[in-house]
Every structure is written in C-alpha cells, then in structure tokens.
Amino acid sequence: MLTKAGRIIAIIMLSVFLTACGRSAEMVETPASIHLERGRNYKEVIEDFEDKGFTNIRTETIEDLVFGRSFRNGEVEQISVGGDIEYDSGVKVPADTEVIIRYHTFSQKSIDEAEAKKR
C-alpha cells in the first residue's frame, strides 16, 4: 500500500505522462496545390514542403523515361499529403503528416542501353 506521499508522487507522474501524450502536433499549411506543383522538379517541391515545416517527406520514382528521348527527368507527377492526392493549398495538417512525391525518371534499362551505345 502506498503512503500518502507515494500516492501524490504517482498521481503527479501520471499527470505529467498523460499531459505529454495529449499534446497536439505542430500544425503546418500545405504549399501550392497539386495542380500547381505537377510538372515541377521534385527537389523544388520537397523544398516547398520543408519550408512549410513538413517533416515526413519521401519520394517514389516512376521509371518510365527513355534516355535520349525524354526531357522530363525529375518532373513531379503526383503528390500525396496524408493519402490525399487532390489536396488544396493552405490546408492545416500535422507537421509529421506523410507526404509522398512521385516523379518521373529514367529506367535502369534505358540508362544501361545509353551507356552501351557510348562504348
């Protein structure tokens, strides 16, 4: 059985723990909507999200370009903000919301073929 002082300390510790768990995440605003970001270079788009305070940004490649015939390397095709691919600008979401930026790049096969032609 806890003494009175022990119970008070336990209550204080529990209160601190619950208060820390209940804190809301920092809120940030989405940058320009996908309609404005599509077609831009993925590195610039990453910078836009970082500048707004997003902390959970990852990229996925779409390896559909043919070396020597395509000029869209790094061009953004799709952005997902918390699973929403049709997000609007200025929407407040937690800073750790997952952002996935999908962009076009060359397939390894295309790069290998271009290197073989150089030899």
Contact (CB, 8 A) for 103 and 61: yes
- Does residue 14 lie in a domain region? no
Contact (CB, 8 A) for 75 and 106: no
Q: What is the pLDDT of residue 26?
A: 95
Q: Is the pLDDT of residue 14 over 50?
A: no
Question: Distance between CA 74 and CA 42 in Å, rounded?
Answer: 6
Question: Distance between CA 21 and CA 72 in Å, rounded?
Answer: 45
In this prediction, residues 3-26 reach a mean pLDDT of 56
Q: Element (H or E) spanning 84, and its range?
A: none
Which CATH number is 94's domain given? 3.30.10.20
51-110 confidence digits (pLDDT tens): 999 999 999 999 999 877 777 899 999 999 999 999 999 999 999 999 999 999 998 777
| CA-wise closest residue to 104 among 58, 70, 69 | 70
Domain range for 50: 26-118
Report the domain count for the chain: 1
- Measured from the Cβ of residue 61, the count of other Cβ atoms closer than 10 Å reads 15
Q: What is the pLDDT of residue 68?
A: 72
Q: Is the pLDDT of residue 45 over 90?
A: yes
